[in-house]
Chain A
Amino acid sequence: MLREGAMSVDYLAPADMAAALEMRGAGGTVLAGGTDLFPQHVGRPMTQPVIDIGGVQELRDIVDTPDAYRFGALARWADVADTDLPSCFDGLRAAAREVGSVQVQNSGTIGGNLCNASPAADGIPPLLSLDASVELTSTVGTRVLRLDEFLTGYRATALRPDELLTAVLVPRGPDGARSSFRKLGLRGYLVISVVMVAAVVAASSDGRITDVRLAVGACSPVAQRLPSLEAELVDRRIDDFDAAVIARHLGALTPIDDVRATAAYRFEAASVLVHRALQACGSER
């Protein structure tokens, strides 16, 4: 059965972190779930050595540590969706269930989603709204960057060529915070977001917003938080504010016209989806 003579690039499959970091130090393309990498190589070969980190078990787990939830870089979307997590993760888990298809969710990883850094990556707005950080590791050491510092531009990150993204860290948020995710695409499944919004909202017992974080994706090279809107919403009742307020605070968005929608439409849709994401956090109380 062994097939001889395939002319392909070097393939490295480290079994543990130490080996993985060693190999990464020597250079090569990281392969995790492969759901971004393989589609980028349709009909053309991979030209760099491939470092397949899929076998590094310690990168798989999702664990609850004293000061943060730690998502191993290799946590797949299916794992995220299936893990029992507090309500502030409902938005992230909803996003996980909308990534591509069951097949994609069974392979694609949270780390791959962030490293690929597509403006339409569904994992990014929920993680921005959770104030997530990423842990980057090389043979030299480990550094932790806030997600918004890690994402530097259109499909660009602060990852160094010798580093692996090893974990996504989410600090413990306000108790009882609710969260939601709203994705707008042009078909039922297997669909790239035209606009998506993630919201995390904490409210006092009388329904006033005490803490709110909103992030919008696919409307700028990197998904954006909406700090001025967040500030404006604090102290308001979640079910009692004028939706028109939202539109005034979308200045950070710089959507473009593309095959999926016009820029003008993205502004309008973002505004509607922010409103609906907030309402969802309220109604789910």
Chain B
Amino acid sequence: MTSAVAFQVNGAQVRADRSARRLSDVLREDLGLTATKVGCDAGDCGACTVLLEGRPVSACMTAVGQLAGRKVETLEGLHASGELGSLQRAFLARGAAQCGICTPGMLVAAAALLRDTAAPTEPEVKDALGGVLCRCTGYRTIISAVMDAHTAEVIEPPPPVGKAVGRRVPRVDGERKLSGTEIFGADGPPDGALVIRVVRSPHHRARFELGDLAAYVAGSPGVVAALSATDVPGVNRFGVIPATADQPVFAEHEVRFRGEAVAMVVGEQPAMEAWDASAFPVTWHELPAVLVPDDALAPEAPRIHDDREGNVLVRGNVRRGDLDDAFSSAEVEVEGVFETGSIEHAYIEPEAGWARRLGDRIEVAVTTQSPHMDRAEVEAILGLPEGAVRIYPTAVGGGFGSKLDLSVQPYLALAAWKLGRPVRLTYTRPESMMSTTKRHPSRLTLRIGATGDGRLTAMDFEGEFNTGAYASWGPTVANRVPVHAGGPYVYDAYRARTVAVHTNAPPSGAFRGFGVPQSTIATECMLDELADAVGLDRLEFRYRNALTAGVPTVTGQVFASGVGYRECLEALRPHWQRARVEAAEANAAGVATIGRGVGLAGMWYGCGNTALPNPSTIRVGLRRDGWIVLFQGAVDMGQGANTVMTQICADALGVDMARIVTLGADTDTTPDAGKSSASRQTFISGNATFLATTELRTRLLELADASADAHIELVDGRLIVHDRGLESVVTLDELDADGDDLVVAATATYDPPTTTLSADGQGEPYAQFGFGAHMTELEVDLELGTVQIRRITAAHDVGRAVNPTLIEGQIEGGVAQGIGMALMEEYIPGRNENLHDYLIPTIGDVPEVVSILVESGDPVGPYGAKGIGEHSLIPTAPSILNAIRDAVGAGVRRLPATPDRVLAAIAEGSGR
């Protein structure tokens, strides 16, 4: 019945069944060409872009049967031919590949453009790459790399020994990402692995009964097993915070959100490619659901978890000073209510991985931000002893917080355990969107008072967070927000209260900023109104009230140094003054239907867990062959942990970076460096790297009996120590080596100095804060309510910039996500579970971003460095909203600020 179709891939003749299979599947599954990525199977992400007869098409929408006699080119071919060499170098030098999952699609689409146009303009680049989404970079480095691909890229020479920190060192894992050889969660399952598909609820809330699963398996050719709650050998419950762990691997009788798993089907790959979920035997009885806190808090609302009264998961608070007093001394007051929606992480790589059983152990390769937490949770689910599970993180194609929670891990581990055969699971895009965590939707109510001359006196804040069906990181959000809601300012009195409310929405979890981006929107928008009310310039108002060293924060913590907020505002001041004048001139002279506006917003953010222990452990050693091996367990999800740790290690040891082999996370080999979240890795794992490497250096110098400032040189098989003109040589072969072939090794743990908080939230929740401020310049179409951002200027106090290119990449990526949050993103369960209807910024939506790095140092950060990962997103959305208000004279308080909402605000407002 089926015949074959012959076509060319990268110059080689290949054959495939003549069928409607997606070309992307044929390339990846049959031909092993996994540089072509799959992010959606629906044309929406462009990760699968290939050239067909020289023109970019989505391989996921190309039927292989149509290819007879035609020519396909993928990144593998373009890389091998060398055609992309200068483009790839430009990507590497500029940091245009972060996680790298979008990179193949970007490079292939760019290749088609560059064949026609060697030196394209910015609009040409945007048109050519508009079909490829990137969630990490903010696109600006990609645009510049493509525009300049015709020039010889200048890659920084390797840093001199001892000078790696502070340099624009290209990412150490960059080559793999640019050649398409990086292995992501879906890329490396063993041949013959069985395929898992998960059966999920179509209802927000329902009771259900499973039918006869044995009969279903028997009657479905190619299906090997169908497993459900009764097959879970350990505890059918997980959650990132042990005290509130409440999510079942498989629901037992009732599902609490749309997308919740009730069973899984495991089968041979061809059968599962054609698997039809609708034939699975399950009967649903839909129950009334509550999707928003107002409904969940109503007295008659169904109880989502028996033990959580009133559907309240947790409350948080911080109080300082006498609020009534402080408000009565205020001469000016503003108040407002703001609402933000559910936001999807929308990394381009859906959750994926594979697993196999080796005797009494299970190995799970998976895209994850938190391998050691995964290991402990999977062991509990399988009822296995500690160490029985090995989590081996693949490259992570974007995480942003959601890959901290378990997704595919328990299904993989359980199926491999039960069936004794290798298994694999890749979520479809809708499945990823339905079932994994979201940014908490919020309602923020606040009131702020100031004296007539513009000194802040009091702030009262209430945040209600929709935490969804399961706890996930809800408690973290509820505890972090009260510390941060006031922003980096000084108040006489302060009160912030939060509540996390369960609903039948998908679980809300961690997403870049743990609730702080939401609260900052409310606070920074209100501060603009307050500045206007007291008649002060909006920047000057913030500057006067800014937190400084030596002044207690709202939790009573006092930093002696490392408080660089005023420096950030100072850095923005000339830009602010210029932009204000330009906007006023444009509004006076320009088209009546366009309003120009400028907006400002500030932020602070504590790095690491809130008032909880938060250690990282790093191991480093000298291998017998003369190489330094860094066991670096901080997952690099694109942010650059592999590179930063290597830079720190190089300088702490005093060797060339190129002499260091950096091994990424693996629970069997790297000690626990904690999770990649809370902007903690550069700070905490960076310190652990510094401490471990310093210890290693001490031991190496001891070997040579050298003084502390001796110079270490490593050559093959030998350690040479230069000390005061003398040279001692240690032949490494003569030393005993451990199981990893290390002759000298050191391990160190760093746990930041924090305290628990009192009942009023007083104490020292974080050992360091990063600060920043963004300024947005934009235009509003006053007839349509559409917003065109012209430029965003971002100043961040990063303590010390370990790698400016990586930091700018974090800033531009954070800005892009902030733009999405401000203008277009809102996830609605059941309505936009795909990247077609759920919109994230494209290459056409991110304007020029000017990054200003302020280096105020930090007493506890490694080399004075602070975290930046989350900071960069926080002030973007409020700066955009403030710019809209500046342009049209009325603010938008319900996000996203879509054109209909902006137009409604214009209608309400007084005009410019």
- Residues on the B chain within 8 Å of A259, using CB: 826, 828, 831-832, 837
Cβ-defined contact, B275 with A186, below 8 A = no
A residues 162-207 near B (Cβ < 8 Å) are 184, 186-192, 194
A residues 235-263 near B (Cβ < 8 Å) are 259-262
Given contacts A6-B21, A8-B273, A52-B63, A103 and B56 within 8 Å (CB-CB): yes
Query: Is A140 among interface residues, defined by CB-CB distance under 8 A?
Result: no
CB distance from B9 to the nearest CB of A (A): 10
Residue of A whose beta carbon sits closest to that of B22: A38
Q: Which of B17, B30, B52 gathers most chain A CB within 10 Å?
A: B17
Query: Is B328 among interface residues, defined by CB-CB distance under 8 A?
Result: no
Cβ-defined contact, B844 with A102, below 8 A = no
Cβ-defined contact, B784 with A184, below 8 A = yes
Interface residues of A toward B: which range? 35 or more
CB distance from B142 to the nearest CB of A (A): 14
* Binary A-proximity of B852-867 (CB < 8 A = 1, otherwise 0): 0000000000000000
A residues 1-56 near B (Cβ < 8 Å) are 1-11, 13, 31, 33-35, 38-39, 42-47, 50, 52, 54-55
- Residues on the A chain within 8 Å of B785, using CB: 265
**Distance between Cα atoms of A78 and B40 in the complex (Å):** 23
Cβ-defined contact, A107 with B61, below 8 A = yes
- Residues on the B chain within 8 Å of A106, using CB: 52, 55-57
B residues 264-289 near A (Cβ < 8 Å) are 270-271, 273-278
- Residues on the A chain within 8 Å of B127, using CB: 102
Query: Is A232 among interface residues, defined by CB-CB distance under 8 A?
Result: no
Cβ-defined contact, A38 with B222, below 8 A = no
Given contacts A31-B63, A190-B130, A1 and B58 within 8 Å (CB-CB): no
Query: Is B577 among interface residues, defined by CB-CB distance under 8 A?
Result: no
- Residues on the A chain within 8 Å of B826, using CB: 259
Selected contact of A38 from candidates B18, B41, B131, B430, CB within 8 Å: B41
Selected contact of B18 from candidates A11, A78, A184, CB within 8 Å: A11
* Binary A-proximity of B832-849 (CB < 8 A = 1, otherwise 0): 101011011111110000
Cβ-defined contact, B17 with A3, below 8 A = yes
**Distance between Cα atoms of A200 and B311 in the complex (Å):** 58
Q: Which of A5, A8, A11, A184 gathers most chain B CB within 10 Å?
A: A11
Query: Is A104 among interface residues, defined by CB-CB distance under 8 A?
Result: yes
Tell me the total A-B contact number using a CB cutoff of 8 A. 199
- Residues on the B chain within 8 Å of A269, using CB: 784, 899
- Residues on the A chain within 8 Å of B429, using CB: 42
- Residues on the A chain within 8 Å of B841, using CB: 187-188
Query: Is B783 among interface residues, defined by CB-CB distance under 8 A?
Result: yes
**Distance between Cα atoms of A258 and B784 in the complex (Å):** 17
How many residues on the B side are at the interface (Cβ–Cβ under 8 A)?
84
- Residues on the A chain within 8 Å of B828, using CB: 259
- Residues on the B chain within 8 Å of A264, using CB: 900
- Residues on the A chain within 8 Å of B66, using CB: 13, 52, 54-55
Q: Is the interface of A mostly helix, strand, loop or mixed?
A: loop
**Distance between Cα atoms of A44 and B275 in the complex (Å):** 7
Residue of B whose beta carbon sits closest to that of A257: B900
Stretch at the interface among B43-51, B250-258, B500-508, B680-688: B43-51
- Residues on the A chain within 8 Å of B837, using CB: 192, 259
**Distance between Cα atoms of A191 and B845 in the complex (Å):** 12
Residue of A whose beta carbon sits closest to that of B832: A259
Cβ-defined contact, A103 with B58, below 8 A = yes
Cβ-defined contact, A186 with B824, below 8 A = yes
CB distance from A116 to the nearest CB of B (A): 13
CB distance from A28 to the nearest CB of B (A): 11
Cβ-defined contact, A104 with B20, below 8 A = no
- Residues on the B chain within 8 Å of A78, using CB: 55
Query: Is A101 among interface residues, defined by CB-CB distance under 8 A?
Result: yes
Given contacts A8-B19, A8-B20, A102-B109, A189 and B131 within 8 Å (CB-CB): yes
B residues in contact (CB < 8 Å) with A: 1-2, 4, 14-22, 26, 29-31, 40-44, 46, 49, 52, 55-58, 60-63, 65-66, 68, 109, 112, 126-128, 130-133, 197, 221-222, 270-271, 273-278, 428-431, 783-786, 823-824, 826, 828, 831-832, 834, 836-837, 839-845, 898-900, 903-904
12 A-B contact pairs sorted by A residue (CB < 8 Å): A1-B14, A6-B273, A7-B271, A39-B836, A50-B63, A101-B43, A101-B131, A104-B43, A106-B57, A188-B842, A194-B899, A262-B900
Interface contacts beyond A7-B271, A50-B63: sample of 6 additional A-B pairs, CB < 8 Å, sorted by A: A3-B17, A9-B274, A31-B63, A103-B56, A106-B55, A186-B824
Q: Which 9 A-B pairs have the closest CB atoms?
A: A188-B844, A101-B131, A189-B130, A265-B900, A43-B428, A39-B42, A38-B61, A189-B842, A54-B66
